[in-house]
């Protein structure tokens, strides 16, 4: 009951925010571009490459406060990830779970592990072999957005699918 | 750095004679009468700090005199920081202490309103050891309350000051001191997106900082063993977050076990023989205990909730931990061998990182409510909740070995924000920054060193 109340309150703040600050919950394309900075830079991505995955599929999903269930947007992204992983069966990945900084250290480790696990289970249910998917939990240790506001914390509550092998270059 | 350097060297001497000292391992013998004579008054949680004069310790030559000043500086700083003492400015002292073996001119100390006076001398012994002797005087009763002598190796000279401060603290309050202790913590440097975290150890006052890891792998949540010889912590060194045990004397680090999933949140049992920790199982996190001698592991909780941050009661019979089994993070107490857990937190908000006081009387915790993070205490049955400090982000309390003071970390906001260490005593009034060169988090307080 507690959790539902928190959820409702959060949904309101998110709705309010999204007027001013466009991509709120599932901004995988933008976030992907941001994190693909080390990629080839400009030009079309090689199909089956890491950049292809990040730019054209989306490498991350986001979560509500203290939640690990997959939002509809997250599920869309993960279906696309699964399709891409089926097309490139030699690719292996690691799901990196993260939490925002508004929690305590140990719990955030466990929560981010739960998020990574939720993503892994979804991909496995989509037909990706479990042995292609590793997971790791980072808790609040690796933020990507830095500010003391929900618009940053919502980006940090994420699970990122990182390619660990088998991609084209 | 060996803990037993100051062992059988503390000597009690009666009266004014420095004669044959009796080897004494606990200063309690003289504590009882002292407690009656000198007392810190606490009214409604407010402490009336005792005015104390601490002149520089005297010494036979320039080397000893310099050491004597430095030792007195440490005593003054320790006692002042405790909030229970008020150090009278040495500039106000009328009498200049010239001889250790003579009673002070009580009248001249009464004039400056000193209630107690600590007189001491230091000596550099042949062979390089250093020694401090002191007398604690009750100015109004005009009597010596306590006289002790400590000896240690030169590189540990700061401990002389901490030992004297601990002895005075105990004589006046009746509680053990906490000044001759260390803090293990996580030193944080670099930008917030790529923080470098290193295992670090320092004296309780921030001196003698030493790094125990090089920053190449992420390390978190260090905790002392009860003998302060070992530290257990979490490291990402192998890729998978795992628990290690670091031996301070040998510098050896040992992996607790090759668990396929993340193992984390370790803490020693009060006898040092077991380690309780969390193990990830799919999306669930459960508590387990390992017997360190046999390496046998036993499960303590089950189910698909998160159960983590375990901490033993000082008698080793119970474990307090946090779990979201009922929806949000709350505190639970269960028998140390597992079994039925009883929820103890019922206030509004989420409760996390419980730590049982070494005295057993209360449990400290982090409380999250309406975007604020506070540090508080409650009795083990959940009653008597008190918040000691509240703000944007306070987290991760650890107890001084006497159960009177907590250290925790406080994070500042924003892109350049970071954590610093603070102490607060059980009254909640005496809050102090602990000096660290960089950002610092996850402190753990050692037991009193021997």
CATH classification at residue B60: 3.40.50.10070
Neighbours of A149 (CB within 10 A): 12
CB of B192 closer than 8 Å to CB of A146: yes
Same domain, B186 and B147: no
Average pLDDT over residues B341-359: 97
Q: Choose among A68, A104, A110: nearest Cβ to B366.
A: A104
Which chain B residue has the Cα nearest residue A109? B264
pLDDT value at B138 more than 50: yes
Same domain, B164 and B255: no
Domain ranges of chain A: 2-165
| Residues of chain B contacting residue A146, judged by C-beta atoms under 8 Å apart | 192-193, 414-415
Banded pLDDT at B42 (limits 50, 70, 90): low
Mark yes or no for CB contact B393/A101 under 8 Å.
Answer: yes
Number of structural domains in chain B: 2
Determine, yes or no, domain membership for B136: yes
Percentage with pLDDT > 70 across chain A: 75
Mark yes or no for CB contact A146/B192 under 8 Å.
Answer: yes
Residues whose CB falls within 8 Å of the CB of residue A28, separated by 6 or more in sequence, listed in order? A58, A59, A60, A61, A77
Same domain, B195 and B343: yes
Structure confidence by residue, pLDDT tens digits, A76-134: 999 999 999 999 999 999 999 999 999 999 999 999 999 999 999 999 999 999 999 99
Maximum C-alpha span of chain B: 73
Q: What is the pLDDT of residue A118?
A: 98
Same domain, B239 and B150: no
Query: Which residue among B173, B208, B231 closes a domain?
Result: B173
Same domain, B154 and B240: no
Determine, yes or no, domain membership for B450: no
Q: What is the pLDDT of residue B5?
A: 33
Mark yes or no for CB contact A114/B306 under 8 Å.
Answer: yes
Quote ipTM for the complex.
0.90
What is the residue range of B376's domain?
Answer: 182-445
Same domain, B163 and B202: no
Banded pLDDT at B38 (limits 50, 70, 90): confident
| Residues of chain B contacting residue A66, judged by C-beta atoms under 8 Å apart | 328
pLDDT value at B106 more than 80: yes
Which has the closest alpha carbon to A92: A70, A55, A123, A114?
Answer: A123
Q: What is the pLDDT of residue B47?
A: 74
Structure confidence by residue, pLDDT tens digits, B283-321: 999 999 999 999 999 999 999 999 999 999 999 999 999
Structure confidence by residue, pLDDT tens digits, B398-444: 999 999 999 999 999 989 999 999 999 998 989 999 999 999 999 99
**3-state DSSP assignment of residue A130:** helix
Mark yes or no for CB contact B218/A141 under 8 Å.
Answer: yes
Q: What is the pLDDT of residue B258?
A: 87
Q: What is the pLDDT of residue B381?
A: 97
Same domain, B204 and B167: no
Query: Which residue among B143, B173, B203 closes a domain?
Result: B173
Give start and end residues of each alpha helix (H) in A2-135.
2-20, 28-35, 50-52, 72-87, 105-125
Which has the closest alpha carbon to B171: B147, B203, B197?
Answer: B147
CA distance B15 to B19: 10
The CA-atom distances, in angstroms, between B64 and each of B6, B75, B131, B205 are 19, 16, 10, 23
Banded pLDDT at B41 (limits 50, 70, 90): low
Same domain, B264 and B374: yes
Structure confidence by residue, pLDDT tens digits, B213-245: 999 999 999 999 998 899 999 999 999 999 999
Q: Which numeric CATH code is attached to A2-165?
A: 3.30.1330.60
DSSP string, B104-155: --HHHHHHTT-SEEEEEEEEE-TTSEEEEEEEEEETTTTEEEEEEEEEEEGG
pLDDT value at B25 more than 80: no
Mean of all residue pLDDT scores within chain B:
90
pLDDT value at B44 more than 90: no
Candidates A3, A31, A110, partner chain B, best to mutate (most B CBs within 10 A): A110
Same domain, B48 and B105: yes
The CA-atom distances, in angstroms, between A27 and each of A19, A36, A62, A123, B283 are 14, 14, 8, 19, 25
Mark yes or no for CB contact B221/A148 under 8 Å.
Answer: no
Query: Where residue B433 sits, what CATH number does that domain have?
Result: 2.120.10.30
Mark yes or no for CB contact B220/A141 under 8 Å.
Answer: yes
Q: Choose among A1, A102, A113: nearest Cβ to B285.
A: A113
Which chain B residue has the Cα nearest residue A119? B283
pLDDT value at A35 more than 60: no
Banded pLDDT at B48 (limits 50, 70, 90): confident
Structure confidence by residue, pLDDT tens digits, B75-105: 999 999 999 999 999 999 999 999 999 999 9
pLDDT value at B35 more than 80: no
Q: What is the pLDDT of residue B113?
A: 96
Which has the closest alpha carbon to B1: B146, B109, B157?
Answer: B157
| Residues of chain B contacting residue A102, judged by C-beta atoms under 8 Å apart | 368, 371, 393
What residues pair up with B367 in beta bridges, in sequence order? B351, B374
Determine, yes or no, domain membership for B350: yes
Q: Choose among A106, A114, A148: nearest Cβ to B264.
A: A106
């Amino acid at each position: 009951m507690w959790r539902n109340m928190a959820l409702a309150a959060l949904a309101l703040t998110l709705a309010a925010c999204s007027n001013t600050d466009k991509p709120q919950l599932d901004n995988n394309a933008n976030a992907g571009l941001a994190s693909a900075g080390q990629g080839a830079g400009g030009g079309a991505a090689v199909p089956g490459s890491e950049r292809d995955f990040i730019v054209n599929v989306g490498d991350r999903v986001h979560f509500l406060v203290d939640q690990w269930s997959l939002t509809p947007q997250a599920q869309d992204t993960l279906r696309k990830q699964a399709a891409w992983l089926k097309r490139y069966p030699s690719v292996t990945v690691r799901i990196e779970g993260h939490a925002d900084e508004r929690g305590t250290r140990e719990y955030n480790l466990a929560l981010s592990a739960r998020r990574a696990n939720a993503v892994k289970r979804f991909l496995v249910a989509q037909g990706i072999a479990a042995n292609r998917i590793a997971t790791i939990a980072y808790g609040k240790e690796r933020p990507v957005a830095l500010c003391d506001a929900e618009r940053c914390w919502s980006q940090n509550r994420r699970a990122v699918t990182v390619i660990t092998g088998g991609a084209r270059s | 750095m060996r803990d037993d350097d100051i062992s059988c060297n503390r000597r009690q001497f009666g009266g004014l004679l420095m004669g044959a000292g009796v080897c004494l391992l606990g200063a309690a013998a003289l504590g009882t009468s002292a407690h009656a004579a000198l007392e810190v008054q606490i009214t409604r949680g407010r402490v009336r700090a005792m005015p104390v004069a601490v002149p520089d310790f005297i010494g036979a030559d320039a080397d000893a005199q310099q050491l004597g000043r430095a030792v007195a500086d440490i005593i003054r700083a320790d006692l002042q920081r405790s909030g229970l003492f008020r150090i009278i400015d040495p500039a106000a002292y009328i009498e200049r202490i010239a001889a250790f073996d003579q009673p002070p001119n009580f009248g001249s100390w009464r004039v400056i309103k000193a209630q107690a006076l600590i007189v001491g001398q230091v000596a550099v012994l042949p062979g390089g050891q250093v020694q401090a002797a002191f007398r604690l005087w009750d100015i109004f009763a005009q009597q010596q309350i306590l006289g002790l002598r400590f000896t240690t190796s030169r590189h540990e000279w700061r401990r002389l000051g901490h030992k004297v401060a601990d002895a005075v603290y105990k004589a006046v309050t009746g509680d053990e001191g906490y000044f001759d202790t260390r803090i293990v913590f996580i030193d944080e440097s670099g930008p917030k997106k790529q923080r470098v975290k290193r295992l670090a150890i320092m004296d309780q006052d921030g001196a003698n900082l030493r790094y125990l890891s090089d920053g190449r792998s992420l390390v978190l949540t260090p905790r002392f063993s009860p003998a302060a010889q070992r530290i257990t912590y979490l490291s990402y060194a192998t890729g998978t977050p795992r628990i290690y045990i670091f031996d301070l004397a040998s510098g050896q680090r040992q992996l607790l076990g090759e668990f396929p999933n993340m193992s984390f949140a370790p803490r020693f049992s009060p006898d040092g023989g077991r380690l309780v920790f969390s193990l990830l199982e799919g999306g669930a996190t459960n508590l387990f205990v390992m017997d360190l001698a046999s390496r046998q592991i036993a499960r303590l909780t089950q189910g698909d909730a998160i159960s983590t941050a375990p901490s033993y009661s000082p008698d080793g019979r119970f474990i307090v931990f946090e779990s979201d089994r009922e929806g949000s993070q709350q505190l639970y107490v269960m028998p140390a061998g597992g079994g039925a857990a009883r929820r103890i937190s019922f206030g509004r908000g989420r409760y996390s990182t419980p730590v049982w006081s070494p005295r057993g009387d209360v449990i400290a915790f982090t409380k999250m409510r309406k975007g604020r993070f506070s540090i508080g205490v409650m009795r083990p049955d959940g009653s008597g909740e008190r918040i000691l400090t509240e703000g944007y982000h306070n987290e991760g309390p650890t107890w001084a070995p006497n159960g009177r003071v907590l250290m925790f970390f406080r994070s500042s906001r924003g892109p350049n924000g970071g954590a610093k260490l603070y102490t607060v005593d059980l009254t909640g009034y005496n809050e102090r920054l602990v000096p660290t060169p960089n950002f610092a988090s996850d402190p753990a307080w050692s037991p009193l060193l021997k």
